């Protein structure tokens, strides 16, 4: 049924039928069960509450211990983790929702304390990110200089992504999203602030896109193109990221994604306090629309009204909401009714337990209904 509100028209995404355009962005919350980084009942309750979103993206999910850079984040490489995620996907599906798993390798944004055997983190080049990493014991340290990956190691990392995609299917997810944003491994290969390679994986735009596209191809092999997407942050500075000329880079990359026919592309604008070039961001968003014919999703500071305008104008097909969904489990209803939004408490974004996680009230003050 068509709605006069652009946010609440249904949408076909690949071969998924999605009931609205209010989608939940991937939000790191650090609430998995330790030890083991296993999703559990608390996580299931959190995602169940938010299941009225058109499509939920899971928090970034580790494909291997080598890809870890934060304490308490969930993985998808052990049997226990797969079983834990089944509790989450079942809760979402029982509430009538859809959920995609965001697959994550942090690359250089890690520390020896997270790595098997205390090894150095890996990256396209041996360039340390500026800033601090939060260690498992609660302390902080400067990001170490990573070890540059050899070219012959990259097929093995692609295989790790493939296994994670298979595990996501076993865990009951509806799709997968490759985390290609925010200064993690895929983003590090794409942007020349972090990628100084001189082999076939560095230098030219085509070369820097090579490894990310190898991973996309592996995900397609597992899921089919209709259930695969990617998130990118072309101008994001988080984790000390830069690129000298992002418009041609992402125009080429979007065209390569189009050749593969994947289901969706999520482009992130200003987050984490970024002060970005809005004119350049608009050109990159437009390149996404021009070069990519699948579902285009935008993210970054949208309100209900600006999201409606973006969708109605054809700029994009859906919006992912981050912080508003964190504090408003019934966000679709609130946007539909023009209701006041709860304010989130940043002090509890990355803590442990239920506070600031599953205790934000719905409009009715009780459990969130399972339909919008």
Please, what is the end-to-end C-alpha distance for the chain in angstroms? 14
Domains of the chain: 6-348 (3.20.20.70)
Closest C-alpha among 29, 49, 26 to residue 96? 49
Cα dihedral sign, 356-56-103-236: negative
Q: What is the pLDDT of residues 32-42, one digit of tens each?
A: 999 999 999 99
Q: What is the pLDDT of residues 289-345, one digit of tens each?
A: 999 999 999 999 999 999 999 999 999 999 999 999 999 999 999 999 999 999 999
Q: What is the pLDDT of residues 68-121, one digit of tens each?
A: 999 999 999 999 999 999 999 999 999 999 999 999 999 999 999 999 999 999
On the question of pLDDT at 158 being above 80, the answer is yes
Query: Which residues pair with residue 104 across a beta bridge?
Result: 62
Distances in Å between the Cα of 368 and the Cα atoms of 47, 115, 363 are: 11, 39, 8
Alpha-carbon distance of 137 to 157, in angstroms, equals 28
On the question of pLDDT at 60 being above 90, the answer is yes
Name every residue whose Cβ is closer than 8 Å to that of residue 302 and which is 6 or more positions away in sequence: 310, 319, 321
Alpha-carbon distance of 191 to 246, in angstroms, equals 8
On the question of pLDDT at 1 being above 50, the answer is no
Q: What is the pLDDT of residues 265-277, one digit of tens each?
A: 999 997 766 788 9
Q: Which positions are annotated as active-site residues? A: 184
Structural contact between residues 114 and 65, judged by C-beta atoms closer than 8 angstroms = yes
Q: What is the DSSP string of 349-366?
A: SS-SSSTTTT----TTSS
Return the SS3 of 5. coil
Give percent of the chain with pLDDT exceeding 70: 97
Predicted local distance difference test score (pLDDT) of residue 270: 73
Residues for the chain: how many in total? 372
Structural contact between residues 289 and 255, judged by C-beta atoms closer than 8 angstroms = no
Mean pLDDT estimate for the chain = 96
The owner of tokens 């193109």 is 225
Residue 4 sits at φ, ψ, to 5 deg, of: -75, -15
Q: What is the pLDDT of residues 160-206, one digit of tens each?
A: 999 999 999 999 999 999 999 999 999 999 999 999 999 999 999 99
Token pair of 265 as six digits? 């592309």
Cα dihedral sign, 331-351-30-235: positive
Token pair of 311 as six digits? 């969708």
pTM for the whole thing? 0.97
Alpha-carbon distance of 189 to 207, in angstroms, equals 9
Structural contact between residues 57 and 102, judged by C-beta atoms closer than 8 angstroms = yes
Return the SS3 of 135. coil
Alpha-carbon distance of 229 to 48, in angstroms, equals 22
**DSSP letter assigned to residue 329:** T
Structural contact between residues 321 and 23, judged by C-beta atoms closer than 8 angstroms = yes
């Amino acid at each position: 049924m068509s709605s006069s509100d652009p946010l609440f028209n249904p949408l076909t995404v690949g071969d998924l039928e999605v009931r609205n355009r209010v989608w939940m962005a991937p939000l790191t919350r650090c609430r998995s069960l330790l030890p083991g980084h296993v999703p559990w009942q608390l996580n299931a309750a959190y995602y169940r509450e938010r299941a009225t979103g058109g499509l939920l993206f899971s928090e970034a999910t580790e494909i291997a211990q080598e890809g870890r850079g934060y304490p308490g984040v969930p993985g998808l490489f052990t049997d226990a983790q797969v079983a834990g995620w089944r509790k989450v996907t079942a809760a979402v599906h029982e509430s009538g929702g859809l959920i995609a798993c965001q697959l994550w390798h942090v690359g250089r944004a890690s520390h020896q304390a997270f790595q098997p055997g205390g090894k150095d983190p890996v990256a396209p080049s041996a360039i340390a990110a500026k800033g601090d990493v939060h260690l498992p014991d609660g302390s902080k340290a400067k990001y170490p200089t990573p070890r540059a990956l050899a070219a012959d190691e990259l097929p093995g990392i692609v295989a790790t992504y493939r296994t994670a995609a298979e595990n996501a299917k076993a865990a009951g997810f509806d799709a997968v999203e490759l985390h290609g944003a925010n200064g993690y491994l895929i983003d590090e290969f794409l942007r020349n602030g972090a990628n100084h390679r001189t082999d076939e994986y560095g230098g030219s735009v085509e070369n820097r896109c090579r490894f990310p596209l190898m991973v996309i191809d592996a995900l397609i092999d597992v899921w089919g193109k209709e259930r695969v997407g990617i998130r990118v942050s072309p101008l994001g500075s988080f984790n000390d990221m830069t690129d000298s000329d992002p418009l041609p880079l992402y125009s080429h990359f979007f065209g390569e994604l189009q050749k593969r026919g994947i289901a969706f592309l999520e482009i992130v604008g200003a987050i984490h306090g970024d002060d970005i070039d809005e004119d350049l961001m608009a050109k990159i968003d437009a390149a996404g629309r021009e070069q990519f014919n699948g579902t285009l999703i935008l993210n970054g500071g949208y309100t209900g009204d600006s999201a409606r305008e973006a969708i109605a104008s054809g700029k994009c097909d859906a919006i992912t909401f981050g912080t508003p969904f964190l504090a408003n489990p019934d966000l679709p209803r609130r946007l539909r009714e023009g209701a006041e939004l709860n304010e989130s408490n940043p002090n509890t974004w990355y803590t442990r337990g239920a506070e600031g996680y599953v205790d934000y009230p719905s409009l009715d003050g009780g459990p969130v209904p399972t339909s919008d």
